[in-house]
Structure 1
Amino acid sequence: MSNSEKNKKILLELVKLPENSRCADCGAPEPDWASYKIGVFVCLNCSGIHRSLSSRVKSIRLDFWEDDLVEFMKSAGNCKARSVYEKDVPPFYYRPKETDCSALREQWIRAKYQRMEFTGGTKYPPLAYTTGMFEGMLLKKGRDNKTYQNRKFVLSEREFTLTYYNKEDESKGPKAVISIKDLNATFQPQKIDHPNGLQITYQKDDHTRNLFVYHESSEEIVAWYNAIRAVRYAYLKTAYPTGSDEELVPKITRNFLKEGYMEKTGPLQKEPFKRRWFSLDSQNRKLFYFKNQLDAEELGVVFIGTESNGYSVKTCAPKNTRGNKWKFGIKMETPERLFVLMCEQEREQKEWIEALKKVLARPMSPQDITGEKKGFKMIKMCLHRTVQCSLVVEWISWMDVAVCCV
């Protein structure tokens, strides 16, 4: 066996060890690359970020490894690197996964190895997202148009609020003061069509409101994201003083379990199908639908309970439908209403049903029961409004017939 083959075999054995079997930075399985400067095994995507930091990376399988580098990798490894570079990561700081956007993964790697933010000790000046007060300019989408304009945002841990202004002159007062209580933030680069796009969601007057923002600097937008998480964490510690980090951290922010377009008909099952954008919030057991994916406010919301409480979801092939272009149906039943939805592809139909069943299978908490009552209220409002509109349409149609008969 040649020296090169021997070194390759050693590296392949090292990467099979439990502590090295996943990417040191995003957790992707079976990493094929390694930074021989830091001593960590990483995936292909993260290796590119390390290379941009001049971190010296090589492929475990394809590159030639010198004996001294192999010896270094034997003495190092992911676990030892974490004890140094992740010694003091705040509980609220988001640790990206392999499916997360590039901005999150890049800034996590830069924060660890380049800026040395988590090696312990007091930082001065303190890291911006740890100060309890964060302010700056973000490009925000207009509510009724696609234009993004600079707006000033102020985040306050003391007040538990996020405030933004339409103009830089604060004397004219804020456009909105948003409570941290029900606020969520999630990266949406594809939806916003910008690599640093962030969606901020909050409650206002029993409706869900969306703000779509971005910053040209990925470091700045990730700092905003973690500052929001820091204030959310502080709020949760106040609201649930006995809650452990294991319980509270997953509640800080969340990604939607599933999003996409489906066709939807009205509550009478007689109305034409219309295309709507759906977002499934697994944590709050809610399925929101909007006219378009960048709408500021939802058209409606469906609470997703459990099967034992009268909720179900399954495939269907509805007959006598009007206006639907898509053929793969989903029938979702609640105690208040039957929903019929259509997907464009069979794959999407299966993904939606799988996602909805995950929510159905999770036991309901006391907070979920409160959300269910609010969901019933919203459904009744939508039903009342839609039935009224249907009656008006039927009345107009009857009048048209009457006029034609005269």
Structure 2
Amino acid sequence: VCPNCGTVKKHGFSSVCIKYLTFVCNLCKTSHQAISHRVKSITMSSWSDAEVEMLKDANGGGNDAARRTWLANAPPIGSGGRPEPGADLAVFKRFVVDCYERRMYYGEGGGAVAAATATATATTAAVSATEPEPAETTAPRREKPRKAAAPKRPKPKKAAPAPPPPPPPGA
């Protein structure tokens, strides 16, 4: 269940907001990205062991931890500006800003999550700066080689119309 809007997906969501360690639906992902929150794909991104560990509830990550902290005082889904599945994207964006940037619904249980968020951000930056990319558990994505642009050829000129045939003899 998406912590922001309550969207339910049987097998979970494929996007994680790294800054707040939450698994989010596509509209919430778009809303986080609109205000420059880093979002990673579960399947299309590389993950370090430290990043995976930070997502565990015991380390302050995950949707339950977000509900206890960032959303502790949030209105019910579908009221008070909190989006519900199918709402307009503008409602999602406004809620994400209010919830995470303005901390309007933040609760007291947030000490661990706030610390975990700072640690996750620092860990991600440290891993990126000091270690080579970790081996991926799935086949790496390969970019298609780009074809070199063919040199532009001048357009062929249209042939002038053929002159009329000469008149037949004796005409």
Which category of TM-score, normalised to the shorter sequence, fits these structures? Answer: 0.5 to 0.7
Deviation at 1:25, TM superposition (A): 1.7
Given residue 35 of structure 2, which amino acid in structure 1 is its aligned partner?
L
1:104 aligns with 2:86: no
Output the CA distance in 1 between the equivalents of 2:72 and 2:19.
19
1:51 aligns with 2:30: no
1:53, 1:114 within 8 Å by CA — same for their partners in 2? Answer: no
Structure 1 stretches lacking a partner, 5+ long: 1-21, 122-406
Choose the corresponding residue for 1:60, options 42, 58, 61: 42
SS at structure 2 position matched to 1:97: coil
Q: 1:87 to 1:48 in 2, by over 3 A?
A: same
Deviation beyond 6 Å, 4+ runs, structure 1: none
1:36, 1:72 within 8 Å by CA — same for their partners in 2? Answer: no
Given residue 48 of structure 1, which amino acid in structure 2 is its aligned partner?
T
Structure number with larger C-alpha Rg: 2
Q: Residue 54 of structure 2 aligns with which residue?
A: 72
1:112-127 alignment runs, 5 A limit: 112-120=99-107
Output the CA distance in 2 between the equivalents of 1:37 and 1:89.
19
Q: 1:120 to 1:84 in 2, by over 3 A?
A: closer
CA RMSD of aligned residues (A): 1.9
1:125-144 alignment runs, 5 A limit: none
Given residue 23 of structure 1, which amino acid in structure 2 is its aligned partner?
C
Q: Residue 23 of structure 1 aligns with which residue?
A: 2
Choose the corresponding residue for 1:88, options 70, 73, 79: 73
Q: Residue 15 of structure 2 aligns with which residue?
A: 33
Given residue 80 of structure 1, which amino acid in structure 2 is its aligned partner?
A
Q: 1:104 to 1:82 in 2, by over 3 A?
A: same
SS at structure 2 position matched to 1:26: coil
Q: Residue 393 of structure 1 aligns with which residue?
A: none
CA-to-aligned-CA distance 1:89-126 (integer Å, 9 cap, x gap): 246524212211111111111111011111259xxxxx
Q: 1:115 to 1:69 in 2, by over 3 A?
A: same
Given residue 110 of structure 1, which amino acid in structure 2 is its aligned partner?
V
Output the CA distance in 2 between the equivalents of 1:26 and 1:60.
20
1:87, 1:120 within 8 Å by CA — same for their partners in 2? Answer: yes
Output the CA distance in 1 between the equivalents of 2:68 and 2:20.
12
TM-score by length of 2: 0.53
Q: 1:120 to 1:43 in 2, by over 3 A?
A: closer
Structure 2 stretches lacking a partner, 5+ long: 109-171
1:33, 1:43 within 8 Å by CA — same for their partners in 2? Answer: yes
2:34, 2:93 within 8 Å by CA — same for their partners in 1? Answer: no
Output the CA distance in 1 between the equivalents of 2:2 and 2:75.
21
1:221-370 alignment runs, 5 A limit: none
Write 1 or 2 for the structure with the bigger share of strand: 1
Output the CA distance in 2 between the equivalents of 1:100 and 1:86.
18
Given residue 61 of structure 1, which amino acid in structure 2 is its aligned partner?
T
1:32, 1:60 within 8 Å by CA — same for their partners in 2? Answer: yes
Output the CA distance in 1 between the equivalents of 2:51 and 2:36.
16
Deviation at 1:32, TM superposition (A): 1.0
